[in-house]
């Protein structure tokens, strides 16, 4: 007898100490002081499940829970999880109410909320560091208002969740550190998750600051033991008897106690008929030597995907290339299917536990590993062609609704699709946009993409692009890189007789050298005066 029941453990196994610790922090926050908790563990160990349990418990106690997510494809998008948090959790009223609130927001917040209807306000220009902190202050005040609107209003504790911090951009980490300090005397529990094996230098610096200032506590998730895997298998199949030792040992060997791997492998085995529902009402399995258990999660995902129809599998592949999160409208345009047909495919993917529904228009892969397994199974040429198709569809959508499609999405997909004529303008605009977001690291990445595109197109060196990337490097205190770009730009500007840009570059070089060599700085500034 074949079953379509989900292979998801109904119980949270092996996390009792972590649950108890989080409950203590929830109780402490209600005394009026904020707390910060970090959940650390490799992919699939159950960080998101523990967060979901915490959110459920907090909301049952009358807390307000808000959540933002980090995605691998958004690492260069400044403030991506903060934007996600505000849109998904804070601004959830009708369009008219959103407009009314939008008119009351400080201008700094419009840089994060470009889709608020009717705003009609351009983001503040990129000027100096204080502008960034005005933005930070505006976000902090907005969150403080959620806790207590005014002195006469009741206090509502706030649970602020950011998942997958290892994919968080530098600007968001800086803002989160500011919020932790700014809201220290408010009833807020900051709950962050990250993978301990994917810590880059930016996240390491953030964690070190929290540690040095004793601003956070850390909870580590470990793989499940043999006994806990046994409990998990019994709970999934609703079986009272213990799992046989040989099967349990094989399962532990393949999964190393990773709950997600366990669910994925068991699902694959059920779909293959290696585990089946017997006539006597219990689950049984084939002899151990006949089991074809995948040796990795990618094998498990590919085996499961083969159970889908070719059309549904094609939808799944397209969604994986789009990214961890994908839009129904975009997918419909890519697949060229009717809404009803695409809904059937989406339902099949939901039933198969590949994806989850976030809203009527937005879906996401249930686990990042699932999406990565599907994406990496494609040939490089396949990925390139699909990125081109997605980029062209996004460009069409952008023509219809210019504020809907982020420049970063257009730049990234055209870049991965190697459509250099499109990469050049979109990456340059994305870099310029990043500078207005006070995000020089992201700006440098996109300007580098634009410069690469310019070279692929065999065009003369772009003085403007090198100047812009030089600005980003200078802001990052990367002296040698900034100097090299400014010099390239100056040479190109002089070759093109662009005297205005030449003057700007001489000033920039003077400013760059001012902290290192006054004589060189003065020389460049004198040359700038001669250009006037």
Provide the percentage of residues in the chain whose pLDDT is more than 70: 84
- How much is the pLDDT for 65? 92
SS3 per-residue string spanning 260-295: HHHHHHHHHHHHHCCEEECCCCCEEECCHHHCCCCC
Query: What are 406-422's pLDDT values in tens digits?
Result: 889 999 999 999 999 99
Torsions phi, psi of 378, nearest 5? Answer: -80, 150
- How much is the pLDDT for 132? 84
Query: Could you give the 3-state DSSP secondary structure of residue 79?
Result: coil
Location of structure tokens 């339902």: 347
Q: Which residues contact 113 (CB under 8 A, 6 or more apart)?
A: 83, 86, 87, 91, 102, 105, 119
186 vs 147: CA distance, rounded Å: 8
- pTM for the whole structure: 0.73
Query: What are 137-176's pLDDT values in tens digits?
Result: 999 988 988 888 666 668 899 999 999 999 999 999 999 9
102 vs 105: CA distance, rounded Å: 5
Domain 32-220 has CATH 3.40.50: yes
Query: What are 420-474's pLDDT values in tens digits?
Result: 999 999 999 999 999 988 899 999 999 999 999 999 999 988 899 999 999 999 9
Query: What are 237-290's pLDDT values in tens digits?
Result: 888 778 888 788 878 877 778 898 888 878 877 777 766 555 554 555 655 444
What are residue 162's DSSP bridge partners? 68, 192
pLDDT surpassing 80 at residue 112:
no
Query: Could you give the 3-state DSSP secondary structure of residue 7?
Result: coil
Domain 460-532 falls in which CATH fold?
1.25.40
Domain 303-377 has CATH 3.30.450.20: no
Which stretch of DSSP H or E encloses residue 190?
A: strand 188-194
Query: Could you give the 3-state DSSP secondary structure of residue 102?
Result: helix
Torsions phi, psi of 127, nearest 5? Answer: -125, -80
| In the chain, domain spans | 32-220, 226-300, 303-377, 460-532
Query: Could you give the 3-state DSSP secondary structure of residue 157?
Result: coil
């Amino acid at each position: 007898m074949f079953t379509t029941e989900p292979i998801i453990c109904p119980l949270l196994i092996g996390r009792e100490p972590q649950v108890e610790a989080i409950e203590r922090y929830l109780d402490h926050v209600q005394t009026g002081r904020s707390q910060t908790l970090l959940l650390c563990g490799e992919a699939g160990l159950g960080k998101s499940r523990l967060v979901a349990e915490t959110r459920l418990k907090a909301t049952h106690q009358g807390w307000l829970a808000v959540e933002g997510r980090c995605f691998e494809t958004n690492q260069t998008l400044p403030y991506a999880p903060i934007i996600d948090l505000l849109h998904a959790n804070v601004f959830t009223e009708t369009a008219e109410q959103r407009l009314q609130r939008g008119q009351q927001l400080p201008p700094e917040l419009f840089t994060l909320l470009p889709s608020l209807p009717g705003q009609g306000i351009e983001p503040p220009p990129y000027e100096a560091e204080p502008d960034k902190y005005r933005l930070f202050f505006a976000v902090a005040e907005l969150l403080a208002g959620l806790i207590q609107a005014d002195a006469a209003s009741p206090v509502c504790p706030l649970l602020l969740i950011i998942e997958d911090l290892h994919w968080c951009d530098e600007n968001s980490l800086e803002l989160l550190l500011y919020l932790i300090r700014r809201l220290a005397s408010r009833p807020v529990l900051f709950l962050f998750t990250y993978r301990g094996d994917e810590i880059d230098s930016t996240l390491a610096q953030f964690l070190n600051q929290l540690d040095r200032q004793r601003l956070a506590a850390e909870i580590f998730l470990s793989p499940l033991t043999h006994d806990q895997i046994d409990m998990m298998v019994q709970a999934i199949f609703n079986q009272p008897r213990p799992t046989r030792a040989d099967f349990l040992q094989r399962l532990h060997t393949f999964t190393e106690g990773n709950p997600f791997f366990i669910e994925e492998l068991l699902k694959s085995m059920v779909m293959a008929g290696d585990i089946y529902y017997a006539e006597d009402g219990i689950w049984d399995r084939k002899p151990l030597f006949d089991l074809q258990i995948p040796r990795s999660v990618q094998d498990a995902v590919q085996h499961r995907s083969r159970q889908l129809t070719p059309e549904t599998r094609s939808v799944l592949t397209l969604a994986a290339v789009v990214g961890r999160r994908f839009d129904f409208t975009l997918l419909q345009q890519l697949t060229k299917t009717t809404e009803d047909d695409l809904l059937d495919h989406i339902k099949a993917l939901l039933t198969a536990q590949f994806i989850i529904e976030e809203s009527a228009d937005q879906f996401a892969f249930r686990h990042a590993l699932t999406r990565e397994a599907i994406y990496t199974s494609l040939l490089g040429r396949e990925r390139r062609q699909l990125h081109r198709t997605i980029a062209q569809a996004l460009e069409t959508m952008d023509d219809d609704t210019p504020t809907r499609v982020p420049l970063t999405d257009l730049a990234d997909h055209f870049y991965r699709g190697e459509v250099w004529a499109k990469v050049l303008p979109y990456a340059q605009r994305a870099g310029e946009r990043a500078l207005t977001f006070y995000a020089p690291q992201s700006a440098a990445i996109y300007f580098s993409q634009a410069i690469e595109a310019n070279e692929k197109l065999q065009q003369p060196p772009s003085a403007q692009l090198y100047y812009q990337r030089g600005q980003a490097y200078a802001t990052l205190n990367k002296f040698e890189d900034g100097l090299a770009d400014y010099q390239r730009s100056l040479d190109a500007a002089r070759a093109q007789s662009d005297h205005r840009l030449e003057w700007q570059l001489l000033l920039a070089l003077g400013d760059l050298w001012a902290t290192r060599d006054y004589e060189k700085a003065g020389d460049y500034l004198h040359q700038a005066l001669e250009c006037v």
